[in-house]
Amino acid sequence: MALYITYLWWLLLLLLVPLVLLMKKKIQVKRQSKQLPPGPPKLPIIGNLHQIGALAHRSLWQLSKKYGPVMFLQFGGVPTVIVSSAQAAREVLKIHDLDCCSRPQSAGTGKLSYNYLDIAFAPYGDYWREMRKICVLELFSTKRVQSFQFIREEEVALLINSIAQLSSSGSPVDLSEKLISLTANITCMVAFGKSFKGSGFDCDRFQEIIHEAMAMLGCRSASDFFPSVGWIIDRLTGLHGRLERSFHELDVFFEEVIDDHLNPGQLKQEEEDIVDILLRIKRDETEFGAIQLTKDHIKAILMNIFLGGVDTGAVAMVWAMAELARRPRVMQKAQDEIRDFVGKKGKVSESEIDQLQFVKMVVKETLRLHPPGVLLIPRETMSYFKLNGYDIYPKTGIQVNVWAIGRDPTIWKDPEEFFPERFVDSSIDFKGQHFELLPFGAGRRGCPGMYMGTSTVELALANLLYYFDWKLPNGMEEDINMEEAAGLTVYKKLALKLVPMIHQWPQED
Binding site feature residues: 447
HSE toward the beta carbon, residue 356, CA cutoff 13 A: 31
Classify burial at 295, counting beta carbons within 10 Å of its beta carbon; exposed 0-12, middle 13-18, buried 19 or more. middle
Which residues are annotated as part of the binding site for heme?
447
Q: Are strands 468-471 and 497-502 parallel, antiparallel or unpaired?
A: antiparallel
Q: Are strands 70-75 and 78-83 parallel, antiparallel or unpaired?
A: antiparallel
Distance CA 386, CA 374 (A): 25
Please name which of 244, 217, 240, 226 lies closest in space to residue 118, comparing C-alpha atoms: 217
348: three-class secondary structure by DSSP: coil
Instruction: Name residue 174's beta-bridge partners.
Output: 497
Residue 58 CB neighbour total at 10 angstroms = 18
Distance CA 492, CA 9 (A): 60
Report CA torsion sign: 460, 461, 462, 467.
positive
Positions of E strands within 88-205: 173-174
71: three-class secondary structure by DSSP: strand
Taking each helix axis as running N to C, give the angle between helix 149-167 and helix 450-467, from 0 to 180 degrees, rounded to the nearest 10.
Answer: 30
Confirm if 379 and 103 have CB atoms less than 8 A apart.
Answer: yes
Q: Are strands 468-471 and 397-400 parallel, antiparallel or unpaired?
A: unpaired
- Structure letter (DSSP) for residue 140: S
Distance CA 376, CA 29 (A): 34
Please name which of 498, 495, 502 lies closest in space to residue 476, comparing C-alpha atoms: 498
Q: How far from the centroid of its chain's Cα atoms is residue 417's Cα?
A: 22
Distance CA 151, CA 190 (A): 7
Classify burial at 261, counting beta carbons within 10 Å of its beta carbon; exposed 0-12, middle 13-18, buried 19 or more. middle
Confirm if 46 and 64 have CB atoms less than 8 A apart.
Answer: no
Taking each helix axis as running N to C, give the angle between helix 295-326 and helix 328-342, from 0 to 180 degrees, rounded to the nearest 10.
Answer: 110
